[in-house]
Amino acid sequence: MDLSPWHRRAALRALRGGRLIACPTEAVWGLSCDPHNALAVERLLALKKRPWEKGLILVAASLEQLMPYIDIPSGKALKRATLTWPGPATWIFPATDFTPMWISGDHDGVAVRVTRHPVLLALCQAFGRPMVSTSANPAGREPARSAFEVRRYFEVGAEGEVDTLVPGALSGLAKPTTIRDAATGHILRR
């Protein structure tokens, strides 16, 4: 499904205004915001009841969008990641000083993914940089697998907890993306 101009504008207005959006991802519905807006990230973490120390994933339209946030430990590490991108693979790279502390959490690395999901891809391209991407559910609850489930968890609308719900379909993965360490290739989350 292509992202309509109306939905693109609404999502960009929300992102640029420090608000939260919900959108489909590869496996589950996600919550996104501007990673450089500390108040937006704080609202997202409070909504999910997620501690900041865990860190958050950045999703991007291209490797170039991620370059300010990541240090490349070796050519081999970069090759590991780029062989899976664009696609449903999340990699931990050492974080640069440009990466906000509230994104990397209590870690030296940052989790990043270059997506091929059509909605996420279109949003990241239009936004011009990565977005936060985390599952749309309160901590301890199952991730939302439909827009209906997002609305069951959160109030959606201009005055709600989530400003905009961007329509679209999931890519069909059975569970959220695997997370691997780029330096070693080790799986950190299946």
Q: What is the DSSP string of 108-138?
A: SEEEEEE---HHHHHHHHHHTS-EEEEESS-
The token pair that represents 149 in the structure block: 């489930």
Taking CB atoms within 8 Å and a gap of at least 24, the contacts of 145-151 are: 145/28, 145/29, 145/170, 146/29, 147/22, 147/29, 149/29, 150/22, 150/29
- Which pLDDT score is estimated for 151? 96
**CA gap 6, 166 in Å, rounded:** 10
**CA gap 121, 19 in Å, rounded:** 19
pLDDT digits (tens, 9 = 90+) for 63-116: 999 999 999 999 999 999 999 999 999 999 999 999 999 999 999 999 999 999
Question: Is 22 within 8 Å of 163 (Cβ atoms)?
Answer: no
What are the structural domain ranges in the chain? 5-184
- Half-sphere exposure of residue 146, counting CA atoms within 13 Å on the CB side? 3
Q: Which residues of 162-179 are buried (b: 16+ CB within 10 A; e: fewer)?
A: bbbbbebebbeeeebbeb
The residue count for the chain:
190
Q: Give me the amino acid identity at 173.
A: L
From the options 3.30.1450.10, 3.90.870.10, 2.120.10.30, 3.40.1030.10, give the CATH code of 5-184.
3.90.870.10
pLDDT digits (tens, 9 = 90+) for 25-67: 999 999 999 999 999 999 999 999 999 999 999 999 999 999 9
| Sign of the dihedral through C-alpha 18, 168, 147, 50 | negative
Phi, psi of 57 (to 5 degrees): -90, 140
Put residue 185 in one of left, alpha, beta given phi > 0 → left and psi -120 to 50 → alpha: left
pLDDT digits (tens, 9 = 90+) for 119-158: 999 999 999 999 999 999 999 999 999 999 999 999 999 7
